[in-house]
Structure 1
Amino acid sequence: MTIDRKPLKDHLEAVGHRDAFLYIEDIAQNKTRLRDTEIKAIHSLVLMDRPEDKGVYRRIPVQPYLIESKLTELLAENEERKKTMHPIERIARFHLEFEGIHPFIDGNGRTGRLILNLELIRNGYPAINVKFADRKRYYDAFDAFYHDGKANAMVLLVAEYVNERLDRYLEMV
C-alpha cells in the first residue's frame, strides 16, 4: 500500500504514466523522430510495474512475428502522410492503426494515447485526455475504422478535444 492507502500497482501506474508524459514532451521538444525505440521506451514507462513485459512486443497469438514489420511500415506511412494529410487526420489515423497492431501484451491503449499526444504536441497542438464519459464514442471510432475503413469518427473526436483545449487556453488569456 502507498501513503494514500492505494495499491502499489495503482501508484506505479500513475507514476509511470506521468514519467511517460514527461518523456513524450521531451521527445517533442527535441524533435526526436518517432521510431520503434521511442514507442518501446514509452511503453516501458507505462508498464513500469511489470518488468517482464515493459517495452517488449507481445510473444503470444495473432502472429507476433509480424509486429515489428507492421510497426515499421506504419511509421514509414506516417512519415509519408506528413506530406499530404492534415496533422489531426494523420495523427488520428496513426492512432487507429497503431491500436490495430496491438504490439504489446498490455498497456497498448495508454501507450497509443501517449503517442497520439506526442504527435499533437509536436505539431503545435495541446495534449488531450479522452474522458471516461466518451469511452463508448472512442471505442465506436475503432469499430467504424475496422468495420468500414473510415477514420472520420476518430478524427472528429481528436479535433473536438483539441478545439476544447484551445478554447480553454484562450479563456485563460
Structure 2
Amino acid sequence: MKKLLRTVDVLKNELSSLKPLNETEIKRLRDEFAIEITYNSNAIEGNSLTLRETALILQEGITISQKPLREHLDIIGFKDAFDFIMDCAERERELTEGLIKEIHALVLMNDARNRGVFRRVPVHIISSTHKPSQPYLIEPYMEKLILNYSEWLKKLPTIEAIARFHLEFESIHPFIDGNGRTGRLILNLELVKHGYLPVDIKVTDAARYYMCFDDYRVNDLNPEMMTELIAEYEMSQLEKHIAIVKAAQEYENEYEGEYPKYDIEEER
C-alpha cells in the first residue's frame, strides 16, 4: 500500500507542475464528473435512475416517467451537495459538525424534518452485523471523531487519514438516512482540500466498498483496505487528468493559437 500511496503523490505533484486548463475546460470536466458521481453514489444506495436519466435530470431538467419523485430529488440534492463541497474545498473550510450537517441537509433535501439533524432513534443495518451508535452517543462520538481526524492527518498519510475518517463516520451512522452519500461527499471534500482530485466510487465496486467496512471492524480497525480502494481511484483520476492536460498543451503548442487547417476533400 505504501508504494501505491507514493505513486499517487508522484502523480499529484506531476499534475500540479503542469500548465492548468482554462476555467471553461475545468468546468466542463467537473460538470461531467458531477453527473457520474451523482449517479454512482445514489445507485450504491439503491436509486434506480440510470446514468443517462441522471444526466437528463441535471442537464435538461427532465422528469423521468414512472420513476419516483424521491429518486429525482436524491439526484438533485446530491448534485447541489457536490457543488457545495467543491466550493468549501476551494475556500478550505474546516471540517466541523456544522459543515457536516450542512452537507447532509442538501443530500436529504426530500426530508425536511430530518435533513441536517442527527437521528433520535436507534437503527439497524440489515446488510451488516455492525450496530451503529445509539442516538445519545452520536454527538460525543462525532466530536471525538473530528478531533481524532485532525490528529490522524498529522500522523498518517493523508489518504489513509481520510479513509479512516470515512470508516468511522459510517460506523457511527449519525443520520437517519443519507449517511453513505454524505460520507462520500465528505471524503471528496477532504481529498480536494489536500490537493487531490475527487473520486467516484462506482456502483460496480459496491461489494468491494462495503467489504472495506467489514474488514476494518474484524481486523483491529485497520483502514488499509479502504485506503487502497480510495488510492486506486485517486491514481486513476490523476492519470486521466494528466493525460487530458498534456493533450491540451500539445494541441496548444502545435497550433500556437491558430485554428487547425484540414483538407476537406481528404476528409471525405
TM-score by length of 2: 0.63
Alignment of 1:158 with 2:158, yes or no, is no
Q: What is the distance in 2 between the residues matched to 1:140 and 1:9?
A: 28
1:61-80 CA-to-partner distances (Å, cap 9, x unmatched) read 25201101100000001111
1:110-139 CA-to-partner distances (Å, cap 9, x unmatched) read 000000000001011111111111111111
Q: Which runs of 5+ in 2 are unaligned?
A: 1-61, 123-132, 246-268
Alignment length, in residue pairs?
172
1:169 aligned partner, one-letter code: H
How many Å apart are 1:8 and its aligned residue?
1.8
1:35 to 96, 107, 111: 96
What are the equivalent positions in structure 2 for 1:134-145 lying under 5 Å apart? 134-145=205-216
Partner of 2:160: 89
How many Å apart are 1:50 and its aligned residue?
0.7
Q: What is the distance in 2 between the residues matched to 1:49 and 1:172?
A: 37
Alignment of 1:111 with 2:171, yes or no, is no
Give the % identical residues: 48
Do the aligned partners of 2:119 and 2:174 also contact (CA within 8 Å) in 1? Answer: yes
Alignment of 1:22 with 2:83, yes or no, is yes
Do the aligned partners of 2:118 and 2:174 also contact (CA within 8 Å) in 1? Answer: yes
Q: What is the distance in 1 between the residues matched to 2:228 and 2:134?
A: 32
Please tell me whether Structure 1 or Structure 2 has the larger radius of gyration of its CA atoms: 2
Partner of 1:56: 117
Do the aligned partners of 2:63 and 2:72 also contact (CA within 8 Å) in 1? Answer: no
How many Å apart are 1:3 and its aligned residue?
2.8
Alignment of 1:9 with 2:70, yes or no, is yes
Q: What is the distance in 2 between the residues matched to 1:125 and 1:23?
A: 17
Pairwise CA RMSD: 1.1
How many Å apart are 1:7 and its aligned residue?
2.5
Q: What is the distance in 2 between the residues matched to 1:7 and 1:102?
A: 25
SS in 2 for 1:83: helix
Do the aligned partners of 2:119 and 2:135 also contact (CA within 8 Å) in 1? Answer: yes
Q: What is the distance in 2 between the residues matched to 1:63 and 1:4?
A: 38
Q: What is the distance in 2 between the residues matched to 1:23 and 1:41?
A: 9
1:11-56 CA-to-partner distances (Å, cap 9, x unmatched) read 1111100110111111111111110000001000000001111111
Q: Which runs of 4+ in 1 moved over 4 A?
A: none
Q: What is the distance in 1 between the residues matched to 2:157 and 2:79?
A: 28
1:72 to 116, 120, 143: 143
TM-score by length of 1: 0.96
Structure with bigger RCO (C-alpha 8 Å, 6+ apart): 2
How many Å apart are 1:86 and its aligned residue?
0.9
SS in 2 for 1:4: coil
Do the aligned partners of 2:73 and 2:110 also contact (CA within 8 Å) in 1? Answer: yes
How many Å apart are 1:9 and its aligned residue?
1.2
Q: What is the distance in 1 between the residues matched to 2:214 and 2:68?
A: 33
SS in 2 for 1:21: helix
Q: Which runs of 5+ in 1 are unaligned?
A: none
SS in 2 for 1:82: helix
